[in-house]
Amino acid sequence: MRMDPLQTAIVDAGPTHLRVRGYDVLELMTQGTFTDMIFLLHHTRPPTPVERRLIDAILIGGADHGPGAPSCAAARLAASGNRQSPSAAIAAGVLTIGDEHGGAGSACMELIAEGIERSRRDGITFARAAAALVDEARAAKSRLPGFGHRMHSVIDPRVDVLFTLAKDSGLAGDGIGMARALEQAIAQRIKPIPLNIDGALAAILHDLGFPPLFGKLIFIVSRVAGISAEVLEEYTREKPMRITFPVAYDGAPPRRSET
Amino acid sequence: MRMDPLQTAIVDAGPTHLRVRGYDVLELMTQGTFTDMIFLLHHTRPPTPVERRLIDAILIGGADHGPGAPSCAAARLAASGNRQSPSAAIAAGVLTIGDEHGGAGSACMELIAEGIERSRRDGITFARAAAALVDEARAAKSRLPGFGHRMHSVIDPRVDVLFTLAKDSGLAGDGIGMARALEQAIAQRIKPIPLNIDGALAAILHDLGFPPLFGKLIFIVSRVAGISAEVLEEYTREKPMRITFPVAYDGAPPRRSET
Amino acid sequence: MRMDPLQTAIVDAGPTHLRVRGYDVLELMTQGTFTDMIFLLHHTRPPTPVERRLIDAILIGGADHGPGAPSCAAARLAASGNRQSPSAAIAAGVLTIGDEHGGAGSACMELIAEGIERSRRDGITFARAAAALVDEARAAKSRLPGFGHRMHSVIDPRVDVLFTLAKDSGLAGDGIGMARALEQAIAQRIKPIPLNIDGALAAILHDLGFPPLFGKLIFIVSRVAGISAEVLEEYTREKPMRITFPVAYDGAPPRRSET
Amino acid sequence: MRMDPLQTAIVDAGPTHLRVRGYDVLELMTQGTFTDMIFLLHHTRPPTPVERRLIDAILIGGADHGPGAPSCAAARLAASGNRQSPSAAIAAGVLTIGDEHGGAGSACMELIAEGIERSRRDGITFARAAAALVDEARAAKSRLPGFGHRMHSVIDPRVDVLFTLAKDSGLAGDGIGMARALEQAIAQRIKPIPLNIDGALAAILHDLGFPPLFGKLIFIVSRVAGISAEVLEEYTREKPMRITFPVAYDGAPPRRSET
């Protein structure tokens, strides 16, 4: 029977060759870094040294924030109950990643793109475009993705590192400009809510030419390294079924079926 | 209510610091590579330059082998039916990874460790220890993990690259020695079945001091980069529900319930 | 250390008792059906006999539509590559379920609720409210969830069974009324696109008082039965790694890195 | 391009018909129960009334044991971080199910089958065969699957319900006989460790003619109903990212990279 082939512009794999975006993987294996490969897989070319530095910083910064994060906690729970498959535990961790946990990068990239587009289209400054976006979010009572973090009420030190790297590299572009404009507008119109790690990477990834969805994907690729390490620790150091939870019931009192 | 804390020796995260295995993550962000972080998370120290080169080669070599591999095909299927969550698609891809697909590295690391242990314990050569293991697997009709590949009947070129890198780096140790001994024993006693990519990385990872489980984990960390890129392509280039399968029914003929 | 307990109004489990929504699970085990339990878990009371009949029909109708569906195909792919964990294969199948595959029930429940609300609020007939919704979807070029199916261009016979059951049971309410009004409005204003299984269950579930999210959840609960059976067949009848895909590369030609 | 079709003996789906194991699904929708469908999907025929009662009891008994169980806790964690996809949360819950959590049914079915086989082969009583198995497990320091539960140190009341149902139904066969023999042998040779819910269902499922793998699968099918309900509650009653964990670091002290 027939089925349509799975078409791809990413990988060309044959019995004697393996190329990604046209580049020879064997050559990359001897000279490149995994970060080059991650860039190449999601872009159309390898990174420049400056771009590689920024992507490395983002990947390192997001890899692990401790076992209390939903991603690592869920992976440990799965490793606690199901010790037949480390991939099952890693997948359970990946599944906790969404708009609320580590996935705000994508939404922030869309917000940044929208602000830049408005500035161009309406011939207004970044500051005014950012103010408009903040007012709209406030009116709609919606959160501004990429700002605020439940654990770092004042500042996440990783954000400064990322922005310093971006500035030093000469890469600072419209994405970073709009992110800063949004941060200022939020401080003036609501209260100071610092850009978080998702917002910082959103600004940089915009300036590197990645599509918004990559904001989520790079966090997943990064965090899988940490999830994997925590699964290894759970398998080798802890007993199965060791994680128990306090529970409280507040539903209906005992009652009898009428049947 | 109380619950036992999730203990870890990997990450120390506080409001003002973030350390992995005691090393400052902020410093790593400005100077290290993602490969350093992956090494550090699963080991107890950062890699040397030679170790970094080998891990980079393994991570690059396993990242993507085309959308026909179960991992990428399953991720695309999930992205085809469920476009609300890229993490769901990536998790579906991860879940296909087991002993049969990309997970042979761990089993091969155990085999290599067993061979080396026998050689030491019984005072025999690697060749004799390998021959014994091959004979036992043959008698038990079990496969030898790390040897053979469904797509590369002759040779996977990535294997040579890995071994050349290992040799050039001066890192070639007992792991690689035992892997080669096993390959030779298989050729003499069964038929030539070349070491595959899982076997090559198993040999190297053994020599770098990683535990057997890391053989599976590094493949997952590596392949998630490729799965992620294929999910991005599926989301941005293809329509939902575009993947259909030919199906054949060969079960019971139509019959009526007797109730 | 402290953590907030996981609160729930569903289950009260103790060393000597187990109650769901206040009802004794031991008693249910001797007298009830699994469908009663599914209803009770997602509602606040057990079903009446007529409600049980409808939920059974929905659960039976959605359980399995063949291995070509993304849910079952992805589960088989995972079982093909990872034979260490049946739960990994079932999870891979579940992950393909979203708005595009079997998840339209929820969106259709929201559409139906919106139509009924408009009719009430604006004092217009269901027909007029439905016509407005269809026109708006058309203008926005968005699909109407619950209508159309890639495999049944004319009619899905399961839809008639569900509606006949609903009519015979005397349960037909506003949900079914609005679903039929939408179907008619689509036929008049676009082209005849029959209500599919998701749409039928959306109408019935609305009339039974379930929240919109249950439209997705009941499909998952139902389909897991089929996925599980297909995983059992894959494990017991097929060899690992037997599923291969045709692939086509249409990306950049071979090129050399400039580094 | 060509690919082998996905063959199946379970479902025959066409544009005008849908049959499972040869039985008309439309007819089942009007007359059967979801439990009939679950039985039919995993067996080759529908259940008798007595068999249906037992399967219903197993499915009801395993559906939900509170949010503290790894399956439900992991699903809630995923729903807490990723609110884009209920199927992602349900999958995360499913992934925690393995030999250690709810998956012991399969292993216990294998143990029971081994005991019965020995009794027949060696012409010894069930008591002697059970004693031998218990002694071997004790010597190997391995656990006996299907016995003991972390929350019910004395007795799980669901076990009695299942066995009473099995006895009343006249279905009590070799499976139940061997399970009781094992329980007695454990009490005499180690200490009283009551049969748990996994062991009870293993005994019954053996007597109903299901393969060992079904011991895991029926628990997953059953538990998905509870996971789904807990995900619904988490989505509709709780805020995103509300679940936090106490964490303790006990790794290396702060140190500086030498690079």
Mean pLDDT estimate for chain D: 91
pLDDT of amino acid B2:
60
- In sequence order, what are the residues at sequence separation of 6 or more whose Cβ sits closer than 8 angstroms to the Cβ of residue A128? A119
Q: Is C220 in CB contact (< 8 Å) with chain B?
A: no
User: Could you give the residue ranges of the DSSP H alpha helices within chain D?
Assistant: 25-31, 34-42, 49-62, 70-81, 86-95, 104-122, 126-139, 157-168, 174-189, 197-207, 214-237
Number of residues that this document lists for chain A: 259
Query: CA-nearest residue of chain C to D60?
Result: C34
Overall average pLDDT of the A217-232 stretch: 97
Could you give the CA distance from residue B191 to residue A258 in angstroms, rounded to a whole number?
71
Q: Is B107 in CB contact (< 8 Å) with chain A?
A: no
pLDDT of amino acid C149:
66
Q: Is A197 in CB contact (< 8 Å) with chain B?
A: no
Q: Decide if pLDDT at D193 tops 60.
A: yes
pLDDT of amino acid D149:
66
Contact yes or no for C41 and D226 at CB 8 A: yes
Residue B19 DSSP SS3 = strand
pLDDT of amino acid B149:
66
Q: Which of B19, D175, A180, D103 lies closest to C228, judged by CA?
A: D103
pLDDT of amino acid A152:
47
pLDDT of amino acid D153:
52
pLDDT of amino acid D101:
77
Overall average pLDDT of the C95-109 stretch: 86
**Residues of C in Cβ contact (< 8 Å) with A256:** 23-24, 27
pLDDT of amino acid A35:
98
Q: What distance in Å separates residue D70's CA from the closest CA in chain B?
A: 14
Residue D243 — very low, low, confident or very high, per pLDDT cuts 50/70/90?
confident
**Residues of C in Cβ contact (< 8 Å) with D217:** 86, 90, 228-229, 231-232
Using CA of residue D96, residue D102, residue D104, residue D105, what is the dihedral sign?
A: negative
**Residue in B95, B244, B249 closest to C82 by CB:** B95
Q: What distance in Å separates residue C16's CA from the closest CA in chain A?
A: 13
Q: Which of A253, D242, D225, A81 lies closest to C5, judged by CA?
A: D242
| Complex confidence, ipTM | 0.93
Could you give the CA distance from residue D176 to residue D200 in angstroms, rounded to a whole number?
8
Contact yes or no for A78 and D89 at CB 8 A: no
**Residues of B in Cβ contact (< 8 Å) with D251:** 8-12, 21-22
**Residue in B16, B161, B211 closest to A157 by CB:** B16
Higher pLDDT, B258 or D21: D21
Contact yes or no for C217 and D236 at CB 8 A: no
Task: Give kind and range of the element (H or E) at residue C24.
Answer: strand C23-24
Residue A247 contacts residue A230 (beta carbons within 8 Å): no
Q: Decide if pLDDT at C176 tops 50.
A: yes
Q: Give all strands (DSSP E) within chain B, no chain letters.
A: 6-8, 11-13, 18-20, 23-24, 247-249
**Residues of A in Cβ contact (< 8 Å) with D89:** 95
Q: What is the CA radius of gyration of chain A?
A: 22
Residue D169 contacts residue D146 (beta carbons within 8 Å): no
pLDDT of amino acid B243:
84
**Residues of D in Cβ contact (< 8 Å) with B85:** 82, 84-85, 88
* Residue for token pair 């008994």: D61
Q: Give all strands (DSSP E) within chain A, no chain letters.
A: 6-8, 11-13, 18-20, 23-24, 247-249
Q: Decide if pLDDT at D30 tops 90.
A: yes
Contact yes or no for C7 and A88 at CB 8 A: no
pLDDT of amino acid D2:
61
pLDDT of amino acid B233:
97
**Residue in B5, B247, B257 closest to D248 by CB:** B5
pLDDT of amino acid C150:
55
**Residues of D in Cβ contact (< 8 Å) with C12:** 66
Query: CA-nearest residue of chain B to D7?
Result: B248
Q: What is the pLDDT of residues C151-172, one digit of tens each?
A: 545 567 888 899 889 888 887 7
Interface test with B, best of C96, C196, C213, C249 (most B CBs within 10 A): C96
Could you give the CA distance from residue D244 to residue D240 in angstroms, rounded to a whole number?
11
Q: What distance in Å separates residue C102's CA from the closest CA in chain B?
A: 8
Highest mean pLDDT among A171-175, B103-107, C136-140: C136-140
Using CA of residue A33, residue A39, residue A40, residue A41, what is the dihedral sign?
A: positive
Residue B151 — very low, low, confident or very high, per pLDDT cuts 50/70/90?
low
Could you give the CA distance from residue B52 to residue B58 in angstroms, rounded to a whole number?
10
Interface test with D, best of B3, B11, B12 (most D CBs within 10 A): B12
Strand pairing class (D23-24; D18-20): antiparallel
SS (H, E, C) B192-213: CCCECHHHHHHHHHHHCCCCCC
Mean pLDDT estimate for chain C: 91
Q: Is C241 in CB contact (< 8 Å) with chain D?
A: no
**Residues of A in Cβ contact (< 8 Å) with D250:** none
Residue C194 — very low, low, confident or very high, per pLDDT cuts 50/70/90?
confident
**Residue in D84, D95, D241 closest to A92 by CB:** D95
Using CA of residue C147, residue C150, residue C156, residue C159, what is the dihedral sign?
A: negative
Interface test with D, best of B23, B244, B257 (most D CBs within 10 A): B257
Could you give the CA distance from residue C203 to residue C107 in angstroms, rounded to a whole number?
11
Q: Which of D259, D253, A225 lies closest to B48, judged by CA?
A: D259
Could you give the CA distance from residue D157 to residue A134 in angstroms, rounded to a whole number?
57
Q: Is B249 in CB contact (< 8 Å) with chain D?
A: yes
Contact yes or no for C245 and B74 at CB 8 A: no
pLDDT of amino acid C218:
96
Q: What is the pLDDT of residues D56-90, one digit of tens each?
A: 999 999 999 999 889 999 999 999 989 989 999 99
Q: What is the pTM of this model?
A: 0.94
Q: CA A53 → CA A56, B222, C125, C183, distances in Å?
A: 5, 19, 62, 56
Residue D160 — very low, low, confident or very high, per pLDDT cuts 50/70/90?
confident
pLDDT of amino acid A175:
94
pLDDT of amino acid A155:
64
Task: Give kind and range of the element (H or E) at residue C45.
Answer: none
* Chain B contacts in chain C segment 22-81 (CB below 8 A): 66-68, 70-71, 73-74, 77-78, 80-81
**Residues of B in Cβ contact (< 8 Å) with D254:** 19, 22, 24
Residue C2 contacts residue A246 (beta carbons within 8 Å): no
Residue C106 — very low, low, confident or very high, per pLDDT cuts 50/70/90?
very high
Residue C127 contacts residue B112 (beta carbons within 8 Å): no
For the record, the structure tokens of B248 come out as 């054949």
Using CA of residue A172, residue A178, residue A184, residue A186, what is the dihedral sign?
A: negative
* Chain B contacts in chain D segment 123-162 (CB below 8 A): none
Q: What is the pLDDT of residues B12-58, one digit of tens each?
A: 998 888 999 999 999 999 999 999 999 999 999 999 999 999 999 99
